[in-house]
Each structure stands twice: as structure tokens, then as C-alpha cells.
Homo-oligomer: A and B are copies of this chain.
Amino acid sequence: MSTSISPLATPFPEMATIAGVRLRVARARYKDWDRTDLTFAELAPGTTVAGVLTQSKCPSPEVEWCRKALVLGEARALVVNAGNSNAFTGSRGREAVEAIAAQTAQAIGCRPSDVFVASTGVIGVPLPIDKAQAGLAAAFVAPEADWRAAAETIGTTDTYPKGASATAIVDGRTITIAAIIKGSGMIAPDMATMLGFIFTDAAVEAPFLQAALSAANARTFSCITVDGDTSTSDTVLAFATGAAGNKPLADDDSDGADAFRAALADVCRQLALLVVRDGEGATKLIEVTVEGAESDRSAHRIAMSIANSPLVKTAIAGEDANWGRVVMAVGKAGEPAERDRLAIRFGATQVAEGGLAVSGYDEAPVAAHLKGQDVEIGVDLGLGEGRATVWTCDLTHGYISINADYRS
């Protein structure tokens, strides 16, 4: 972990253990460092799994492996490597993933396709199989680790460990969801990458788990951006051990389906915001809400156009209520918009309305709002009912220092 902690960091929360999940960490020494960098989670028999993976056309072999394994919907183990993303490494990269899955399957007695693998770190260097094998062997016999240790072990350029949890009542029982995530940008130096792992003791059939995760993803992970870049390795996996003993959630009519979905979405939202809060060089968390669009999809595109605009992000860094740059970002999104219906606010203060600056608006609350760590930009297009909220961070000298002053 980096020594300079993000000013937006939040403390690692208290998180309960999840029955059916055993965490262990080890030192594979993928880089020349003295820290744990291999995480092994053993999952009880019967655990179901769902996932959302990067849409990159050039994914890592780990992503391809997980995509294939997800079809079966069953999981017995998760292995996460930090320090080497194994991306863009050809057949040797694939062999490393296969070797990890085979060794783990043999150790715990399962099919290789029950083993999920994710890696993060430098690109273009095949994951060294010997280090992975030695690290795994050490992990198998290591004492159990807690969430914080696992969160620290999957991190690379993260400046603080990230976890979130929630509970829900399902079929009369309290089920728990606990999750860890790493990432400080969609992409960080050395292709750092967002990797998120969610565990629950609820019994959930794989198709329903996938539907719930995909729905939550659309409103959380797919709504954050640090620099508009997309990793070759982004991975979020959700595992349900069933140890809570509830009647398995199978569809929308299952007892507790709504509560489970809400708890899962809550955890995903917490995780997503933790990643933005560790955005490279971030000093402010920016929430962009677009309303009045022709559709939710159109609202999302306009919100992402604003959140990805370097000029908007630098204006917020400078605590400058530069709504002209917001107009620019709306205009360039290519979605339906009418200049003379547009309204823009910073925090609770309308600064533009009906295609014009609000005459004599009070600048004091706007200035006060922009000085804070949490900044809200609101846009009302005045066209329809479409709505979306996305989150990003400001663009500062820190981002340039991390990404330009660094050498691979």
C-alpha cells in the first residue's frame, strides 16, 4: 500500500465473518516486496457464484477463465494475485491461470472450473508459475485471515484497504453480505484495476445471484469513473455459501428477494464509492445527477460525459463554479439536449436556468459547497423523465504526478 493516504479515505469497517468462507493470505513475492500478495478464499461446497467482468476487447486470461467458469455457476475457491496482472501475456499467461486452478482444485478436492482467479499489477509479464505455486502452497496452510488482511493483500496502488457489509432478513433469517475491493481508478499505474469480491452466507441460486449482481452493477460500478479508462482485468465476483440455511433465493417472488437485492446493491454502492474516494490524486468526491433526460440511458451518457470531462474535473479541483464547462460536457455527449431548457446547479444552488445564467444568484453557498470534500453537480435537461447519478473525483496535480512521474 502507498504511504500517502487519500484525503477522502474512510476507516475500514467492522465486518462479520461469513459462514462458509475461509480467508488466508500468503507471500508469493510477485514483486520485490515484503508483504502478502496472494489471497486464497475457500468456499463451502454448494457455493453459487455470479460475476461482472470488464468489457475490454483485450481482457486478461483471468477474465477469460472466470467468464467460462461462471457458466457453471458453482465455486469452491477464489485466488487473487497482486503485483502482476498477467494481462497481455499470451499462452504463458493462460498456463499460469490453469496451473493455479489445477493446484487449488487438487488441494481442496474440486473441479478446476470451481476455482476463480483474478490478478492485478504489471501488464505484459507472464505470472511466474513457480511463485504462484509456492505462494498457494503457503496459503493452504496459513492461519485464517480477517477481512482487513484480505483487503490489504489484494491492494496494489490503493492508499487504504476497502470493505463494506450489509445484512438483510431472508426467509426469516438474518443473512450477511461482506465484501472487499481494490482499485484507485479504473486503471492505475501498472494497470492496477478494480477487483471486487462479495461473499454472503445466504443461499442464492446462481441465476438469481447473477441477475441481482448485474442490476446492482448497472447502478454502482458502472456509474463510477476516475479517468474514463477501462482496465483489461476489471472483475467483480459474488459468492453465496448458503450457510445461513434459508430457502434458496430463486426469483423475484422468493421470500426476501427484495431485501437481498437491496442489501447487495447497498454493498456495491459502498464499494464503488470507496474506489472513487481512492481515485489517483483525488481531493474531492463528485456526484453528478442528470434529470429530465429522454431516457435513463441518455441521462447516464450525459452524466458520464460530465464526469469524464477533464475541464469539469479540473474546475472542481480549483473550486471554480464553472458551469460553462458543464454546458460543454452536456453538448458533447451527443444525446438529446436543448440549450434553452437546460438548468444547472452546484449543491443546492441553481446557477443556470432556461439557457441563461441565473441573474444574481448567491455565490456564497456555491463557493462554500465547492470548498467541501463532497461536491454535487445537478443538471436538469427539461425534456423527459430519464435520470442517472454517477460519481467521479477531481483531476489534480496528484493524478499527473502518479501517472506521469512514474516509470514502468
Contact = CB atoms under 8 A, between A and B. Distances in A.
A404 B395 contact: yes
A143 interface: no
A323 B58 CA distance: 13
A257 to B, nearest CB: 33
A400 B396 CA distance: 6
Contacts of A337: 57-58
A191 B54 CA distance: 35
Interface string A116-132: 00000011110000000
Interface in A363-408: 394-397, 399-401, 403-408
A232 B315 CA distance: 17
Contacts of A220: none
B342 A58 contact: yes
A252 interface: no
Nearest to A228: B310
B339 A57 contact: yes
A123 B324 contact: yes
- Residue from A56, A57, A87 with most neighbouring chain B CB atoms (10 Å): A57
A190 B328 CA distance: 11
A243 interface: no
A81 to B, nearest CB: 16
Interface in A17-73: 54-59
Contacts of A336: 57
A331 B232 contact: yes
A358 to B, nearest CB: 10
Given A57-B335, A58-B331, A191-B324, 5 more contacts: A87-B324, A310-B395, A310-B399, A320-B407, A399-B400
